[in-house]
C-alpha cells in the first residue's frame, strides 16, 4: 500500500522516481520520459502516477492507457484525456496544426453546444454530437493529406486501442487508372 502512495506523495513535492526496480532514480516531475530515453533505450513508462508498467512501443502504451486507465494521450501535445472526450481535445488542441482543426467558419445560426476546455484553442469549433468513427476517419484523412505521417500513424494506433475502425468507405479512394490506349494495347497483347 505504501508503495502505491509514495509516487503520488513525491509528485506533490515535484519529484518522480523511475519505476524500474534496479534503477529507482529520482528526477523532477515531467523528466521521466527523457530519463527512459537516455537510460533505458526505447522503453517508455506509463505516465499515470503510481503505475509502474513499462511499454516497449508507442502502440503498447496507447493500448495500456486505454485498457487500464481509460485515458488517451494526445499525439500533438501529449496531454492525457478521458477516453470518452479525447476527440474533443484533439480537435481543439492548441498544438494541433491549424489545418487539422474543424472549419471555424460555422454556418450562420449554428451555436456552440460545448465550450473549449482550459488550455485549448478557444476559436475551434466544438464537435459534440459528431459520430466518433466518422470524425476519427476524417482526422486520419487530414493527417495523411498534410503528409503528417507520424501523427497519422499515432492516430491510427489510438483508434485501434479504442476499438474505433477507420471507415473505409469514407477514406480517400485511390482511383484505378482509367482504361486508356496503353491499357488497351496491353490487353490486346495478352489475348
Contact 31, 38 (CB under 8 A): no
pLDDT, one tens digit per residue, over 96-123 is 655 455 444 333 333 333 333 333 333 4
Q: What confidence category does residue 89 fall into, taking pLDDT thresholds of 50, 70 and 90?
A: confident
In terms of DSSP H, where are the helices of 40-190? 58-69, 86-92, 132-145, 149-162, 181-190
pLDDT, one tens digit per residue, over 132-147 is 777 778 777 777 776 6
Question: Residue 102, CB half-sphere, CA atoms under 13 Å: how many?
Answer: 21
Is the full-model pTM beyond 0.75?
no
**53 or 117, higher pLDDT:** 53
Amino acid at each position: 500500500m505504501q508503495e502505491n502512495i509514495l509516487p503520488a506523495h513525491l509528485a506533490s513535492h515535484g519529484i518522480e522516481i523511475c519505476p524500474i526496480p534496479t534503477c529507482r532514480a529520482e528526477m523532477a516531475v515531467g523528466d521521466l520520459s527523457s530519463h527512459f530515453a537516455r537510460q533505458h533505450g526505447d522503453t517508455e513508462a506509463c505516465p499515470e502516477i503510481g503505475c509502474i508498467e513499462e511499454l516497449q512501443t508507442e502502440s503498447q502504451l496507447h493500448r495500456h492507457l486505454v485498457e487500464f486507465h481509460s485515458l488517451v494521450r494526445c499525439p500533438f501535445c501529449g496531454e492525457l484525456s478521458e477516453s470518452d472526450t479525447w476527440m474533443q481535445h484533439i480537435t481543439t488542441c492548441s498544438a494541433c496544426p491549424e489545418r487539422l482543426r474543424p472549419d471555424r467558419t460555422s454556418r450562420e445560426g449554428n451555436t456552440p453546444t460545448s465550450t473549449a476546455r482550459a488550455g485549448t484553442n478557444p476559436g475551434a469549433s466544438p464537435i459534440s454530437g459528431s459520430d466518433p468513427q466518422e470524425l476519427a476517419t476524417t482526422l486520419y484523412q487530414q493527417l495523411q493529406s498534410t503528409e503528417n505521417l507520424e501523427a497519422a500513424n499515432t492516430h491510427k494506433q489510438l483508434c485501434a486501442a479504442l476499438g474505433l475502425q477507420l471507415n473505409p468507405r469514407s477514406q480517400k479512394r485511390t482511383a484505378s487508372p482509367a482504361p486508356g490506349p496503353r491499357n488497351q494495347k496491353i490487353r490486346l497483347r495478352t489475348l
